[in-house]
């Protein structure tokens, strides 16, 4: 019974905030968070809806383990139809916001319609109201959070807000909570902006918000889980010390680091922007970029990076607001802002990352779009006159200028805010957009890691590393080592990863626990927290059901098997250097097998038998 | 025979101070030196060697004693790490 069993429904058109009981039948089939909110979305909206239409809904949702003492139990998700992809969007965030929402007494908040004027939702224990946000419109995430806390005289209010990127409908705008944790991908922030909803502010102190099914068993299961995390080399030492950024050199050495819009597969500047570099003292001021690590609610891993920039760096010389400690670059951000466009200035990447947090936009899609613009510039398809400045690969100044222009929608930043697919299409070369379903790739090349290529192609929310992290077997040897270029067994392994990930994303836990935890570590925690029978088999069935439900939504939205594709560059241009030299993606071999393993037709549609088995 | 050794993350502590920023040490070794030999010779705890690559290609734990290094090859090692 770790659910509060309460849903808050907010009609932005009428201003009403009403509580209704959580559909517990659905909770038994979809668990919570990603799965449960998607079930609500698919049941209440037409998948063909324009993402910016008031008819599109947006759901903030927690999992049953959110706000409990389970390690990493602080996650929440935002589920809606994404404007970047036209597909299901589900963006997951940490920090403290999710747990606070649970303590206030709700499992999820469903936003309907659109407000005529800017508003923010204030939630306190058992009470919710929409308040005028006219004075907040035009402000950054950071200013918004500070203003709300000051106005309500409560520094412990947790705020999830959009910045100017969301207001200006940058197609990859994020929702940022706790200053630098983000529901980052697929443009959920732009949907929030389209609804004139500036922020959700929560203060929850209820100790009776939810009840654990078996408290004693839950304490034992979570305690056992924490011991596993602490004893594991990755979650006990590697992630807290170096963060995800330690992967930069691993992936580069392995020859799978997409560089300069995927023209290259290794980056000569990787060493300068990786996790180790963040620890090294700068020659300029003798201090390291990294100050310390940080943790989200209930987390015993603490992979977050807290950085302080070189105060003399050109990008912040006269900007004191960026000279303090703030959220540093994680691996995907450092790759996108750096290797993807050939920039190797760690301080510049940190500044751009600060801007992404401050004004709420996804550094992966932003950085990758800059990389595409640089290629168009080098090909002469984009000119200095159009951009306003020169933009060759490796231009630190160019990347920084675009980071400053994008959220506010000024100059060429307005075009960058459309994402690389629309940018490259506008300039006649859609093939140069390194995307799947119009969402930019993260930091692994699908030629170098065949399983990741398949994971990107089949991800329900467009190119994404967090829907089936095949890097684990292909690079890290977790749970077993698979050769990067092999295709055998990858479709089945990917399906298992995708289904398990859907379970974790629906529980309230962080996916990073799975570097140490298997389903046998997670299952006892869910079983002890939630009423009902939650065997491992049933949980995997829930995961598979969620995956297929998302697929059905996308099919209903008009996507087809043809969208399970990779750009021609990955299919036809062999990797130029390194151990994967000569490789192209073997998607054509893996995809038919993947459809088969999924119980889908050769066209990528779930068969009647699969639908019946899963009850989708 | 010349080979390269790259040590990353916490394993960089096993490099001489002057090699730590580049993470790389160039070494003269006897022909036939295996991955396991070099790990032992440099005093790197074998249980801390989670990701072991020779010229970017994974060497399994069981294969480290048999994998002889060739002239010019680079051995790169990480402790247990992950990202995402």
* Beta strand spans in A424-540 (E): 435-436, 439-440
Q: What DSSP letter does each residue of A520-547 carry, written as one string? A: HHHHHHHHHHSSS---HHHHHHHHHHHH
Give the CATH H-level superfamily of domain B2-78.
Beta-grasp domain (3.10.20.30)
Q: What DSSP letter does each residue of A200-225 carry, written as one string? A: EEEE---SSS---SSHHHHHHHHHHH
User: CA of B49 to nearest chain A CA: how many angstroms apart?
Assistant: 11
User: CA of B5 to nearest chain A CA: how many angstroms apart?
Assistant: 12
d(CA A4, CA A25): 14
User: CA of B32 to nearest chain A CA: how many angstroms apart?
Assistant: 22
- What letter would DSSP give residue A288? B
Q: Give, in degrees to the nearest 5, the angle at Cα A490 between A485 and A494.
A: 130
- What letter would DSSP give residue A584? -
Residue A564 has pLDDT above 80, yes or no: yes
- Output phi, psi for A203, to 5 deg: -135, 115
d(CA A43, CA A294): 38
| A512:B12 CB<8 A | no
Residues in chain A within 8 Å Cβ distance of B46: none
Confidence at B83, pLDDT banded by 50, 70, 90: confident
Neighbours of A220 (CB within 10 A): 14
User: CA of B3 to nearest chain A CA: how many angstroms apart?
Assistant: 16
User: B interface toward A at CB cutoff 8 Å?
Assistant: 6, 8-10, 12, 21-23, 48, 50-51, 53, 55-58, 60, 76, 78-84
Mean pLDDT along residues A474-483: 93
pLDDT digits (tens, 9 = 90+) for A139-174: 999 999 999 999 999 999 999 999 999 999 999 999
Residue A484 has pLDDT above 80, yes or no: yes
Please name which of A463, A573, A471, A451 lies closest in space to residue A254, comparing C-alpha atoms. A471
**A398, A372, A303, A477 alpha-carbon torsion, rounded to 10°:** -140
- Taking CA–CA distances from B75, the nearest residue in chain A reads A253
d(CA A276, CA A253): 14
Neighbouring residues of A475: CB distance < 8 A, sequence distance ≥ 6: A247, A250, A251, A254, A256, A449, A484, B51
| A233:B80 CB<8 A | yes
CB-CB: which of A245, A481, A579 is closest to B83? A245
pLDDT digits (tens, 9 = 90+) for A255-303: 999 999 999 999 999 999 999 999 999 999 999 999 999 999 999 999 9
| A512:B6 CB<8 A | no
**A496, A501, A503, A508 alpha-carbon torsion, rounded to 10°:** 160
Residue carrying the six token digits 């301080």: A347
Residues in chain B within 8 Å Cβ distance of A578: 56
What is the distance in angstroms between the CA of the first residue and the CA of the last residue of chain B?
38
Residue carrying the six token digits 């040490």: B25
- Taking CA–CA distances from A281, the nearest residue in chain B reads B21
pLDDT at A1: 64
Neighbouring residues of B70: CB distance < 8 A, sequence distance ≥ 6: B1, B3
User: ipTM > 0.95?
Assistant: yes
CB-CB: which of B56, B80, B82 is closest to A579? B56
Q: Which stretch of DSSP H or E encloses residue A143? A: helix A141-151
Residue A332 contacts B, CB cutoff 8 Å: yes
Residue carrying the six token digits 């160019």: A398
| B8:A249 CB<8 A | yes
| B55:A579 CB<8 A | yes
Helix ranges restricted to H, A360-463: 363-378, 384-387, 396-406, 413-416, 420-426, 450-458
Residue B21 has pLDDT above 90, yes or no: no
Residue carrying the six token digits 């250097």: A577
Report yes or no: A392 and A378 within 8 Å, Cβ to Cβ: yes
Interface test with B, best of A184, A229, A242, A267 (most B CBs within 10 A): A242
d(CA A319, CA A3): 45
Looking only at the bridges linking them, the beta strands covering B24-28 and B57-58 are unpaired
User: CA of A320 to nearest chain B CA: how many angstroms apart?
Assistant: 30
pLDDT at A362: 98
| B50:A242 CB<8 A | no
Assigned token pair, A286: 């003798």
- Taking CA–CA distances from B74, the nearest residue in chain A reads A253
d(CA A152, CA A141): 17
**Domain range list for chain B:** 2-78
Report yes or no: A570 and A447 within 8 Å, Cβ to Cβ: yes
Residues in chain A within 8 Å Cβ distance of B6: 253
- Percent of chain A scored above 70 by pLDDT? 100
pLDDT at B84: 80
Residues in chain B within 8 Å Cβ distance of A483: 58
User: CA of A478 to nearest chain B CA: how many angstroms apart?
Assistant: 10
Mean pLDDT along residues A600-605: 98
| B81:A250 CB<8 A | yes
Phi-psi region of A360 (alpha: psi -120 to 50; beta: other; left: phi over 0): left
Residues in chain A within 8 Å Cβ distance of B76: 253
pLDDT digits (tens, 9 = 90+) for B45-63: 999 999 999 999 999 999 9
Mean pLDDT along residues A225-253: 96
User: CA of A519 to nearest chain B CA: how many angstroms apart?
Assistant: 19
- Percent of chain A scored above 90 by pLDDT? 99
Interface test with B, best of A72, A185, A232, A234 (most B CBs within 10 A): A234
Centroid of chain to Cα A170: 16
| Chain A (541-560) residues lying within 8 Å, Cβ to Cβ, of chain B | none
User: CA of B13 to nearest chain A CA: how many angstroms apart?
Assistant: 12
d(CA A512, CA A466): 10
- Output phi, psi for A498, to 5 deg: -65, -45
Average pLDDT, chain A: 97
| B9:A255 CB<8 A | no
Q: Give, in degrees to the nearest 5, the angle at Cα A181 between A176 and A185.
A: 65
């Amino acid at each position: 019974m770790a659910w509060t069993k309460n849903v808050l429904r907010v009609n932005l058109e009428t201003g009403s905030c009403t509580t209704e009981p959580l559909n517990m039948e659905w909770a038994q089939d979809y668990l919570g968070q990603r799965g449960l909110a998607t079930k609500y979305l698919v049941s209440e909206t037409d998948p063909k809806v324009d993402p910016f239409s008031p008819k599109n809904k947006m759901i903030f949702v927690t999992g049953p383990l959110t706000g409990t003492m389970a390690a990493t139990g602080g996650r929440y998700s935002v589920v809606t139809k994404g404007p970047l992809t036209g597909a299901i969007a589900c963006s997951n965030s940490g920090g403290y916001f999710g747990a606070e929402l649970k303590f206030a007494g709700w499992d999820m908040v469903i936003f309907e319609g659109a407000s005529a004027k800017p508003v923010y939702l204030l939630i306190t224990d058992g009470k919710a109201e929409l308040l005028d946000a006219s004075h907040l419109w035009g402000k950054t995430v950071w200013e918004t959070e500070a203003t709300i806390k000051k106005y309500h005289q409560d520094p412990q209010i947790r705020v999830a807000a959009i910045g100017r990127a969301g207001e200006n409908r940058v197609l990859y705008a994020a929702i940022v909570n706790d200053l630098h944790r983000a529901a980052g991908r697929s443009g959920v922030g732009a949907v929030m902006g389209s609804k004139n909803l500036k922020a959700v502010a929560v203060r929850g102190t209820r100790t009776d918000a939810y009840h654990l099914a078996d408290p004693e068993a839950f304490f034992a299961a979570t305690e056992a889980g924490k011991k596993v995390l602490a004893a594991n080399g990755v979650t006990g030492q590697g992630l807290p010390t170096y963060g995800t950024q330690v992967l930069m050199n691993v992936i580069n050495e392995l020859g799978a680091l997409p560089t300069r819009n995927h023209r290259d597969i290794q980056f000569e500047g990787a060493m300068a922007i990786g996790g180790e570099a963040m620890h090294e003292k700068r020659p300029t001021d003798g201090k390291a970029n990294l100050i310390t690590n940080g943790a989200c609610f209930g987390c015993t891993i603490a992979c977050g990076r807290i950085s302080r920039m070189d105060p003399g760096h050109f990008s912040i010389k006269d900007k004191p607001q960026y000279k303090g400690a703030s959220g540093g670059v994680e691996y995907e951000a450092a790759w996108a802002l750096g290797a993807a466009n050939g920039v190797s200035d760690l301080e510049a990447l940190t500044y751009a990352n600060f801007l992404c947090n401050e004004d709420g936009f996804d550094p992966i899609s932003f950085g990758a779009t800059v990389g595409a613009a640089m290629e168009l510039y080098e090909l002469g398809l984009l000119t200095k006159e159009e951009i306003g400045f020169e933009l060759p690969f490796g231009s630190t100044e160019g990347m920084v200028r675009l980071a400053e222009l994008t959220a506010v929608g000024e100059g060429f930043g307005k075009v960058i805010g459309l994402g690389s697919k629309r940018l490259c299409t506008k300039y006649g070369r859609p093939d140069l957009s390194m995307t799947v379903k119009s969402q930019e790739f993260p930091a692994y090349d699908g030629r170098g890691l065949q399983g990741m290529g398949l994971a990107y192609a089949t991800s329900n929310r467009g190119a994404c590393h967090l829907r089936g992290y095949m890097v684990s077997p292909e690079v890290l040897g977790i749970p077993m080592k698979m050769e990067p270029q092999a295709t055998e067994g990858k479709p089945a392994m990917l399906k298992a990863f995708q289904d398990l990930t859907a379970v974790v994303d629906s529980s309230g836990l962080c996916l990073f626990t799975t570097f140490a935890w298997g389903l046998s570590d997670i299952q006892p925690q869910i079983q002890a927290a939630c009423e009902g029978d939650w065997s491992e088999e049933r949980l995997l069935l829930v995961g598979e059901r969620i995956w297929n439900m998302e697929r059905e939504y996308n099919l209903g939205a008009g996507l087809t098997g043809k969208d399970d594709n990779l750009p021609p560059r990955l299919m036809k241009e062999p990797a130029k250097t390194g151990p994967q030299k000569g490789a192209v993606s073997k998607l054509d071999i893996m995809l038919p097998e993947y459809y088969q393993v999924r119980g889908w037709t050769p066209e990528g549609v779930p068969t009647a038998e699969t639908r019946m088995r899963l009850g989708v | 025979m010349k080979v390269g050794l790259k040590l990353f993350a916490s394993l960089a502590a096993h490099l001489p101070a002057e090699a730590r920023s580049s993470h790389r040490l160039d070494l003269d070794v006897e022909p036939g030196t295996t991955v396991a030999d070099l790990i032992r010779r440099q005093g790197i705890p074998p249980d801390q060697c989670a990701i072991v690559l020779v010229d970017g290609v994974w060497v399994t734990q069981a294969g480290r004693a048999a994998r002889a290094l060739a002239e010019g090859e680079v051995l790169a090692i990480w402790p247990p790490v992950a990202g995402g």
